[in-house]
Amino acid sequence: MKQKLNQIVRMAACGVAMAGSSAFAANTLFSDGDLIMTFQQANGSQSVYVNLGSATSYRGAAVGPDGAPVINIVNVASTLTNTFGANWQTLDNLFVGLSAVRTNTQTPTAVDGDPGRTVYVSNSRTALDNIFEQGSTAKSISGNTAQTTASSGILNMNTPFRNGSDQTIGVFSTSESNIDNQVPINIVSGDLFQGTAFGAFPGGIQQQGSAGILGSTSFAGIGDVEFALDLYRIYGDTFGTDPNSLAGPLRQGTFEGTFLLGSDGNISYIPEPSSAALLGLAAGGLLIRRRRNS
């Protein structure tokens, strides 16, 4: 993984403690293009942002399932307990999602293989099932204008993280984070439904919690799983030529891998096993492992 991801993991333990200081300082531990896991409670007053590092770190050297697995990236149990209560694992009004974008400007110039407006978003797996395979429908964007709309929405939602003090885990009021506007949850006759996320993804990008676990896996000691989100990369700019750009199908999501949130609060990432990195690491017992408490 990239050096920045390692720095983020090292800082995770103190991220929340620093959240209350200097609300207008630039967060040097955040860059646009970082993959953010958000926690949003329907009708709740607070949301949680977790910086998982550069989205391209999970993409790998090629488009598709080419990344390396990362086990126990960060533990968010104490943050979720303090924000949503000790029973956060059983809340059916808690929603979790992933998103990232570097810029909303149309440009072919690639940074780490991604041209401008390359969007990363999640979709909820219908079940845990085989964690080494895609378990949801790929996300896509309807057109060029919608690509800009989605990019702008992600950037807008990340404003408090970007402008806040140095932190890798942030707790913000829902009004401050603007998450309710960018990733809306609608209540109809007491039932919860996800609205159009970032103005471009009908049905949302999040997974809704439930009273029981989603499933369990013995892989790498992960155990019981509460949330499982597939990550998709959506390529948005094809004009011009940049030899460093990793092209993909225009505005169609490519599956990169799956993020798991365990009942113990650990977040892990599993790419598809067609990745040579995963097969080799699993065979040799050398899975990348990070463990920090929030």
pTM (two decimals): 0.85
CA geometry: angle at 71 spanning 70 and 75, to 5°? 115
pLDDT tens digits, one per residue of 130-177: 999 999 999 999 999 999 999 999 999 999 999 999 999 999 998 888
What CA dihedral angle connects 234, 261, 157 and 293, to 10 degrees?
-130
Q: Give yes or no for a contact between 36 and 50, defined as CB atoms under 8 angstroms apart.
A: yes
| Buried b / exposed e along 57-94 (16+ C-beta atoms within 10 A) | bbbbeebbbbbbbbbbbbbbbebbeebbeeebbebeeb
State the residue for tokens 């007053």.
Answer: 45
Long-range pairs for 142-145: beta carbons < 8 A, 24 or more residues apart: 142/200, 142/251, 143/251, 144/106, 144/236
Residue 201: phi and psi, rounded to 5, are -120, 90
Residue 3: phi and psi, rounded to 5, are -60, -35
Nearest-angstrom CA–CA distance, 114 and 56: 8
Q: What is the pairing mode between strands 223-234 and 34-41? A: unpaired
State the residue for tokens 């333990």.
Answer: 13
Does residue 13 register a pLDDT over 80?
no
pLDDT band of residue 241 (cuts 50, 70, 90) is low
Q: Give yes or no for a contact between 94 and 201, defined as CB atoms under 8 angstroms apart.
A: no
Nearest-angstrom CA–CA distance, 194 and 202: 8
pLDDT tens digits, one per residue of 76-126: 999 999 999 999 999 999 999 999 999 999 887 888 889 889 999 999 999
User: Which residue did the predictor score with more confidence, 196 or 276?
Assistant: 196
